[in-house]
Amino acid sequence: MVNHKNVTFTVNKQTPIQEPPPVAYGIVINYGKPGAKQTSTRVYRAKLKLEEDRKRNVDDLDDDEEGTSQTKKFIMGPRKSPVMAKSKRTVTYKPQLSGPTKFRKGKPLAKGIDLDCWFTILSFADPSQLLEMRSKIASCFRFLRDNPMLWKYSRCFFYGDSLPDPPADLTEFQYAHLRHGHGCMSCGTRSTRKTYWVFLRRWCKSCLHSKVVKGQDVVPMLKDYHGEDISFIQKCLPSGIFDSWGNFVGAGPSNNHSVKTIYLLSDVKKLVAEYIKESRDNYISWHAEVRTWVVNKTKMNEDRREFARRMELWEEMARTSKSYGHQENKTARKMYFADKASKLTPPISAQEMQLCPSYRRAVAIPKLPNMTSWMQLRPKLEKEAAALAAKRAEDRETARGYTKYPPLRLSTIGSSTPSQYDTDFASSSYQYPCSFPHLLGEWDFLEASNLSTPLLDDSNSVFFPH
């Protein structure tokens, strides 16, 4: 080691032992120059015996000292007595507040979220998300079942006034299920998404045709228990419209002969059964009450029809808005990919990209572009563009090789006697048949190297003049 005077010295390594250190460790080292007088001074450590606690306690006082202390307390007063102040001192502990919950992977929380907090959180969620949670999480199923108003708060927050309120005979959960659910409610076909709002059902086309009846077939079914005609209650039935191809058009009834009015068979049977039951229960006063009963049923049917038309209009506007958004996303993808492809080495033009299948598949996706989508497309695009460039070069070489062969026309192939037009024209120019995609390629037909501009006659033969 070297000290501040650039003098070299060595120090023995200290070893951790319990015994007293050797003598050499208790000597002050002289850092003088070599050759000077060596002096060393021993350092002796003095051991002082001190009492552990020199302060007296109150319990150690004698009787005389205790009386003197009480006299001093009386003279000094309770406020100035240090002993009384010490005895009256109270210890206050601050409440320990628990810190924020630390989320750890694989360790469940010791305390869950309160149900009121869950109600507030889920009231701001999308109704379609609530529907999915209800079908996949058992605790959410019970919570949403016990809190039906949560569906209404979610609908009002997410859609506002743009979505009409459900009719009186439809709950908020059923309303959300008809809007966002999928699957036929009769046969269970998973791909079915069409909801017939006038019937409040979601069916596939085959199930719909099996459950409806045409207007002219409904009249014979409207009979009471005496067999009398009660066709005046037909206006109480919800109805739809079929076009001439059997496609559902919307809520009915129809006003022209080109479309047909349809009714739900179960609704017809239910209405007739209810009419018969009411007439039997109120046999005496039924003739006076039947008018009121029909008016109430007609009012409910009109409300159902108005609700169905508003929902059909809302769905049409939602589809239109969604299609516009998809088209904007596709246009953005085209511009983004074209800009990225132009910066490659070698660059790829927009015309070349149109011939690449991977590019056509990528721009058909209705999502906004990002770097991830470009990195997925780039290797495919480069590979396909290189293959197209190689095909183009091969087509050029094929077209250049046809200048070495004698004149030939498509009309002379397989014919023993050439025509007079072929004989006259062959003396002044070479004639070469070319199939556009196979000989010159579909890229640059007019850019065949070392060739003049081709001429096309009426027999689809290409001529390259001298």
Q: Which of 165, 276, 157 is nearest to 225 (CA)?
A: 276
Cα 299 to Cα 224, 237, 418, distances in angstroms? 22, 11, 88
CA angle, 437 then 440 then 441, to 5°: 45
Quote the pLDDT of residue 227. Answer: 84
Report residue 27: phi and psi, to 5°: -105, 135
The mean-pLDDT minimum among 31-40, 140-149, 191-200, 233-242 falls in: 31-40
pTM of the model: 0.56
* pLDDT exceeds cutoff 50 at 211: yes
Cα 323 to Cα 146, 182, 312, 329, 363, distances in angstroms? 38, 20, 16, 10, 15
Helix (H, G, I), strand (E, B) or coil at 251: strand
Q: Supply the DSSP string of 272-327, one letter for each residue.
A: HHHHHHHHHHTTTTHHHHHHHHHHHHHHHHHHHHHHHHHHHHHHHHHHHHHHHHHH
* pLDDT exceeds cutoff 60 at 276: yes
Q: Which stretches of 137-258 are DSSP H helices?
A: 138-146, 149-159, 172-180, 205-211, 215-218
Per-domain boundaries in the chain: 114-163, 182-281, 405-464
- Residues 38, 51: Cα–Cα separation, whole Å: 42
Q: Which of 200, 195, 196, 145 is nearest to 167 (CA)?
A: 200
pLDDT tens, residue by residue, 308-356? 999 999 999 988 888 888 899 999 999 999 999 999 988 999 999 999 9
Mean residue pLDDT across the chain: 77
Residue 432 near residue 463, CB atoms below 8 Å:
yes
What is the biggest distance separating any 2 CA atoms in the chain, rounded to whole angstroms? 157
Q: Which of 337, 345, 399 is nearest to 372 (CA)?
A: 337
